Chain A
Amino acid sequence: AQSVSQHNHHVILSEAASLELGCNYSYGGTVNLFWYVQYPGQHLQLLLKYFSGDPLVKGIKGFEAEFIKSKFSFNLRKPSVQWSDTAEYFCAVNQAAGNKLTFGGGTRVLVKP
């Protein structure tokens, strides 16, 4: 069974700092990879996704993620965070054939103004 690990449960940083959130998955086959974000009081929203092609994926709000197949990783990055990036971030994986989406445990990010 596939599993997804997010290394950091909580991250606190100041505005303009760089952010990197780790995500590793266990499935050895072809996968689709996602990052979802949940802002306080809001529902889950798709931040970015990778299906195939360029392993460096750019998403909304200046976020990007890099798929490194050899490391089974899909880390999320943002060069300069803003207070409005305070949210919980979830990495998710499903098999390329289309099936249930398995989520990591989430990382709560707090950006101090």
Chain B
Amino acid sequence: GAGVSQSPSNKVTEKGKDVELRCDPISGHTALYWYRQSLGQGLEFLIYFQGNSAPDKSGLPSDRFSAERTGGSVSTLTIQRTQQEDSAVYLCASSYRDGNTIYFGEGSWLTVV
């Protein structure tokens, strides 16, 4: 597609369950980012993938969070044993390698009840 595609757009899950959020970046973009936007908060960096390099995981808030990127394209963000504080919009973005304009998807709205 023309833009960054994320799924699901909305997810309600019970506390303690695992969730997977998917991101399909713009074709040809080698860099992929995950951010989290909580209600009333700014955008919190989670993880960054660039080509085949080791990902920058410095923003992951706990070991319950993990992400992978298969074949240098689609990425999955996994949250294990979800907690209520994980409720947020999870944004994926992608760009070309040179770090120029970063394009965001519409986000996955996660609600943990």
Interface size band for B: 20 to 34
CB–CB A99/B99 < 8 A: yes
Q: Which residues of A contact B43 (CB under 8 A)?
A: 90, 92, 103, 106
B14 contacts A by Cβ under 8 Å: no
**Please, which residue of chain A has its CB at the minimum distance from the CB of B35?**
A103
Which chain A residues in 48-90 approach chain B with CB under 8 Å? 49, 51, 90
Is B56 engaged at the interface, CB distance under 8 Å to the other chain? yes
Taking CB atoms, residues of chain B closer than 8 Å to A43 are 91, 104-107
Let me know if A98 and B42 touch, CB within 8 A: no
- Give the CA-CA distance A42 to B89 in the complex, in Å: 12
Contacts of A46 in B (CB 8 A): 101-103
Interface on B for A, CB 8 Å cutoff? 31, 33, 35, 41-43, 45, 48, 50, 56, 59, 91, 93, 95, 97-107
A-B contacts, 18 of them at CB < 8 A, read: A34-B102, A42-B106, A43-B104, A43-B105, A43-B106, A96-B99, A97-B99, A98-B31, A98-B50, A98-B95, A99-B56, A99-B99, A100-B56, A101-B45, A103-B35, A103-B45, A104-B42, A106-B42
